[in-house]
Chains A and B, each alone.
Chain A
Amino acid sequence: MWEIIKNSIVILSVLGGLFFFFVGTVGLIRMPDVFSRMHATTKCDTLGAGLIFIGLMVWQGFSFLSLNIFIILIFVWLTNPTAAHYIASNEYDEMLASQKESEAS
């Protein structure tokens, strides 16, 4: 009985993670500009990776390896928005510079 519950939790969370990764990728292709694309990828990758890692942790059970997975999960959750912020910040600078150029000419 416990096996069935465990397996269904794992399957559901990995499928959910796959769904959010899929949505993130579709958003990356469909959105019109850099900033909107960052919206789609950051958010969906965060929850997608989270769900897949949680599924793996349940699959692994309570062990040292699931502690590793948990630490990797925290790392991904910290770095993902930071990377998005860095890309968006650089793009914003670029945008301001090109606006100034077009005003000057």
Chain B
Amino acid sequence: MQQGKKRSAVFLFILLFAFWMILAADIDALSIIVGLMATLFVVLYGFDLIFSSQEASRFTFGFLFKSLKLMVILLKGIIISNLQVAKIVLSPSLPIKPGFRTIKQPLKKDLNRTFYGNSITLTPGTLTVKLTDKDIIVHGLEPEYLDALNESDIQKCFIDLERL
């Protein structure tokens, strides 16, 4: 466990440093030194938050393909949900019936759970409020949006990802 964490920490260090170098635009001694120091600080500070490889799906070609499919569905969901929110906000009567609902979530791995919660927030009319081991508390603008969450395409995609 500790060994896996160390390896993830090194990986995170490389990733963050690459991120810094892309954002820094010009490559000189000062930006490299500052970047190394800042990256080291972030990695040390967040060491107990780093997830090890057991908590994520393995990165294979199948994973890449399935996550691309997921991204397409998600992008469609984002556009639809934006148009719906725009319609609701701009209509004078404000037609909403907000409410909570607890729905089951089948995912085990932490990273997938995080992405699943974020995806629910971005799909039409729903907002993740609490995420626990067995279920999610979701807030919805209309009951029908909450009904659409069970057996949704996104949930199927995540179950597929979980199997890898």
- Chain A interfacial positions (CB closer than 8 Å to B): 19-20, 23-24, 26-27, 30-33, 35-36, 38-40, 42-44, 46-47, 50, 64-65, 67-68, 71, 78, 81-82, 84-85, 88-89, 92
Contacts and interface: CB of A to CB of B under 8 A. Distances in A.
Given A47-B78, A81-B122, A84-B121, 10 more contacts: A20-B86, A23-B89, A26-B90, A43-B85, A64-B22, A85-B128, A88-B129, A88-B139, A92-B129, A92-B130
* Interface of B: prevailing SS: helix
Q: Nearest 9 A-B pairs (CB), nearest first?
A: A81-B121, A27-B89, A81-B118, A47-B82, A35-B139, A23-B86, A88-B129, A92-B129, A43-B85
24 contacts: A20-B86, A23-B82, A23-B90, A27-B85, A27-B88, A27-B89, A35-B127, A36-B98, A38-B127, A43-B78, A47-B79, A50-B78, A68-B22, A71-B19, A81-B121, A82-B118, A84-B121, A85-B117, A85-B118, A85-B121, A85-B128, A88-B129, A89-B129, A92-B137
Contacts of A38: 127
Interface in B42-98: 78-79, 81-82, 85-86, 88-90, 94, 96, 98
B19 A35 contact: no
Which of B23, B78, B82, B131 lies at the interface centre, i.e. has the most chain A CB atoms within 10 A of its CB? Answer: B82
